[in-house]
Structure 1
Amino acid sequence: MTKPRFLHTMIGVFDLDRSIDFYTKHMGMTLLCRKDYE
Protein backbone atom coordinates (compact mmCIF):
# COMPACT_ATOMS: atom_id res chain seq x y z
CA MET A 1 0.00 0.00 0.00
CA THR A 2 1.34 3.46 -0.90
CA LYS A 3 1.11 6.37 1.49
CA PRO A 4 -1.36 9.15 0.62
CA ARG A 5 -0.02 12.36 -0.88
CA PHE A 6 -1.34 15.59 -2.38
CA LEU A 7 -1.91 15.74 -6.12
CA HIS A 8 -2.82 19.43 -6.37
CA THR A 9 -2.91 22.26 -3.86
CA MET A 10 -3.57 25.96 -4.42
CA ILE A 11 -3.63 28.87 -1.97
CA GLY A 12 -4.80 32.33 -3.04
CA VAL A 13 -2.52 35.09 -1.69
CA PHE A 14 -2.00 38.84 -2.16
CA ASP A 15 1.83 38.82 -2.33
CA LEU A 16 2.95 35.72 -4.23
CA ASP A 17 6.72 36.26 -3.92
CA ARG A 18 6.50 36.80 -0.17
CA SER A 19 4.32 33.72 0.26
CA ILE A 20 6.67 31.54 -1.81
CA ASP A 21 9.58 32.77 0.32
CA PHE A 22 7.75 31.85 3.53
CA TYR A 23 6.59 28.39 2.46
CA THR A 24 9.89 27.35 0.89
CA LYS A 25 12.38 28.84 3.38
CA HIS A 26 10.47 28.56 6.65
CA MET A 27 8.08 25.63 6.13
CA GLY A 28 10.48 23.47 4.09
CA MET A 29 8.12 23.05 1.12
CA THR A 30 9.22 22.78 -2.50
CA LEU A 31 7.73 24.90 -5.28
CA LEU A 32 6.86 22.56 -8.15
CA CYS A 33 4.93 24.91 -10.43
CA ARG A 34 4.08 28.59 -10.49
CA LYS A 35 1.25 30.17 -12.49
CA ASP A 36 0.43 33.86 -12.22
CA TYR A 37 -3.21 34.74 -12.84
CA GLU A 38 -4.15 38.38 -13.31
Structure 2
Amino acid sequence: MWDFIWNWYFGSFAIVIIVIIYIIIQLSNTFYGEKEDD
Protein backbone atom coordinates (compact mmCIF):
# COMPACT_ATOMS: atom_id res chain seq x y z
CA MET A 1 0.00 0.00 0.00
CA TRP A 2 2.74 2.44 0.93
CA ASP A 3 4.61 1.61 -2.26
CA PHE A 4 1.55 2.60 -4.28
CA ILE A 5 1.15 5.91 -2.41
CA TRP A 6 4.91 6.58 -2.68
CA ASN A 7 4.96 5.88 -6.44
CA TRP A 8 1.80 7.93 -7.03
CA TYR A 9 3.23 10.84 -5.01
CA PHE A 10 6.54 10.91 -6.88
CA GLY A 11 4.78 10.27 -10.18
CA SER A 12 2.54 13.30 -9.69
CA PHE A 13 5.52 15.35 -8.49
CA ALA A 14 7.52 14.40 -11.62
CA ILE A 15 4.59 15.40 -13.87
CA VAL A 16 4.34 18.79 -12.13
CA ILE A 17 8.09 19.39 -12.58
CA ILE A 18 7.90 18.44 -16.27
CA VAL A 19 4.96 20.82 -16.81
CA ILE A 20 6.76 23.68 -14.99
CA ILE A 21 9.95 23.10 -17.02
CA TYR A 22 7.89 22.99 -20.23
CA ILE A 23 6.19 26.30 -19.36
CA ILE A 24 9.53 27.92 -18.49
CA ILE A 25 10.99 26.76 -21.83
CA GLN A 26 7.96 28.12 -23.71
CA LEU A 27 8.26 31.47 -21.90
CA SER A 28 12.00 31.57 -22.58
CA ASN A 29 11.47 30.83 -26.28
CA THR A 30 8.84 33.57 -26.49
CA PHE A 31 11.05 36.04 -24.59
CA TYR A 32 14.15 35.37 -26.69
CA GLY A 33 12.05 35.20 -29.84
CA GLU A 34 10.70 38.71 -29.25
CA LYS A 35 14.23 39.87 -28.47
CA GLU A 36 15.57 38.46 -31.76
CA ASP A 37 12.72 40.06 -33.72
CA ASP A 38 13.73 43.39 -32.22
TM-score normalised by the chain length of structure 1: 0.32
Query: Which structure: larger Rg?
Result: 2
Bigger helix fraction: 2
- Relative contact order (alpha carbons < 8 A, sep ≥ 6): 1 or 2 greater? 1
